[in-house]
Chains A and B, each alone.
Chain A
Amino acid sequence: MRTWLRVHRAAQVCGALALTAGLVAAVGDVLVPVPGLAVEDLAGVPVALVAPLAASSVLVRGALAGAGGLEAAAVRPVLAYRTGMVAVVCALSLVMALVVTVPYAAAAARNLVGFTGLAALAALPRGRRRDAATAAPAAYLVAAMLLGRPGAGSWWDWPVEPSPHPATWVVPAACLGFGLAAPVLARLRPGRRPRRRG
């Protein structure tokens, strides 16, 4: 398991998570002005809501790293390990958000869950496009900044919603749930379409 964790960059994932937590604690409440269509003036988005994207990217990179062919024919349940790694990191961020009293900690944890879930969904099709999976949460974040209305508590613009209102958890949790469950479900049905080989 130790080598599996090395191959899947667990140290880097922990480092990125710690760095993000530090960033959220230190400058999380600094507002970044962004042009938004739904608000009159520049909307301010706290750094704490943007920072989890980096941790999420490193996590997804770690989860998708590894010995492709070797793991595809492995006896050990590598898919479960991968799913577990992502789930544990997301759970850890939630625990940290509950324990630490820092502004926007819960919203940051929610965004880590949501960004990771979106990337997991984008990574479902195999092949080279999988390498662009983390562009999906980044694009969603930018779109939410442009079109969202921070503070309104709506379900879809959760990346820019500073409050951890329950409604803003629906999409991130669903994305993570589907993103992690889909490869497992695909394995259960016949005729899955794997990556092309020579």
Chain B
Amino acid sequence: MPISFEGCAFGYRRGTRVFTRLDLDVPAGRTALIGPNGCGKSTLLGLAASALRPRAGRVSYQGLDPFRRGNLARYRALVGWMPQRVRPLPGLTAREQVGYAGWLMGMSHGLAWRRSLEALEAVELGPVADTRCAELSGGQLRRVGLAQTLVHDAEVVLLDEPTAGLDPEQRERFRGIVARIGERGHLIVSTHETADLAETYDSVVVLDGDRVRYAGPVAGLGAASESTRKV
């Protein structure tokens, strides 16, 4: 089942628009979301996470429009979102923060606490589970953010520039984790790294300004850009 954006319009301020009419279906599997800075990648992920509400049109997954009465909790339970900036919550350990994320996503306290360790181990942070988040490195904190999206077994995982600012080794490790997540369902990753798209992702969406330049298999991206260049 794809995640559908149907005629979505959105703007942060009155009179401005990030999207005037966005029509897009993101298929299952691993999808890279690429485009220049400010083109709306984070906004698109925010809309998909239902953290942002479109001014017009609708977003849906499995036929669920989150902003129709009674759908919001059901929709959100299916989605895990890692925003661009993962903030350490003062005083909480990595496990507590991930457990808190699980609790926010509707899990019971006990279940969230148990699952938090599993999520941290999935992102290779088991050894620092009891370390305060404020003491973790930038790369570790991003992986805590990733664990937050995994703790409640989301079908759709949305990652906003997860590897930005990481060193090559951390990036490689992150890529491995991302590959494993992608096998479970929907994974949409906004990224600027296009070097290894084919190895990591199944499909790609290219945003440019208010338009979707390309949406389809990674393999087709080269031909599409070739034809664009000819035009």
A191 x B53 contact (CB < 8 A): yes
A194 x B12 contact (CB < 8 A): yes
> Closest 4 interchain pairs by CB?
A69-B83, A75-B106, A74-B104, A72-B51
Interface locus among A1-9, A23-31, A35-43, A101-109: A1-9
- Give the residues from 181 to 217 in chain B that come closer than 8 angstroms, CB to CB, to chain A: none
A190 to B10, CA, bound (A): 11
Looking at the assembled complex, report how far the CB atom of A194 sits from the nearest CB atom of chain B, in whole angstroms: 5
A193 contacts the other chain (CB 8 A) = yes
A166 contacts the other chain (CB 8 A) = no
Q: A3-B92, A75-B73, A75-B104 are in contact. Are A67 and B50 (CB under 8 A)?
A: no
B-facing mask of A152-194, CB < 8 A → 1, else 0?
0000000000000000000000000000000000000011111
Q: A70-B83, A190-B55, A198-B41 are in contact. List 6 more A-B contacts (CB 8 A).
A: A4-B100, A69-B81, A192-B53, A197-B43, A198-B37, A198-B84
28 A-B residue pairings within 8 Å (CB atoms): A1-B109, A2-B109, A3-B96, A3-B100, A4-B104, A7-B92, A67-B89, A67-B100, A68-B87, A69-B51, A69-B87, A70-B83, A70-B101, A72-B51, A73-B49, A75-B77, A75-B104, A75-B105, A190-B53, A190-B67, A191-B55, A192-B53, A193-B13, A193-B14, A194-B51, A197-B42, A197-B84, A198-B37
Interfacial chain B residues near A131, Cβ < 8 Å:
none
Q: How many residues of A contact B (CB 8 A)?
A: 27
Interfacial chain B residues near A196, Cβ < 8 Å:
12
Interfacial chain A residues near B38, Cβ < 8 Å:
198
A4 x B103 contact (CB < 8 A): yes
Q: Majority SS of interface residues in chain A?
A: loop
A66 to B97, CA, bound (A): 11
B89 x A7 contact (CB < 8 A): yes
Give chain B's interface residues, CB within 8 Å of chain A: 11-14, 37-38, 41-43, 46, 49-53, 55-56, 67, 73, 76-77, 79, 81, 83-85, 87, 89, 91-92, 96-97, 99-101, 103-106, 109, 148, 160-161
Interfacial chain A residues near B87, Cβ < 8 Å:
67-69
B67 x A73 contact (CB < 8 A): no
Looking at the assembled complex, report how far the CB atom of A50 sits from the nearest CB atom of chain B, in whole angstroms: 28
A194 to B101, CA, bound (A): 21
Interfacial chain A residues near B52, Cβ < 8 Å:
194
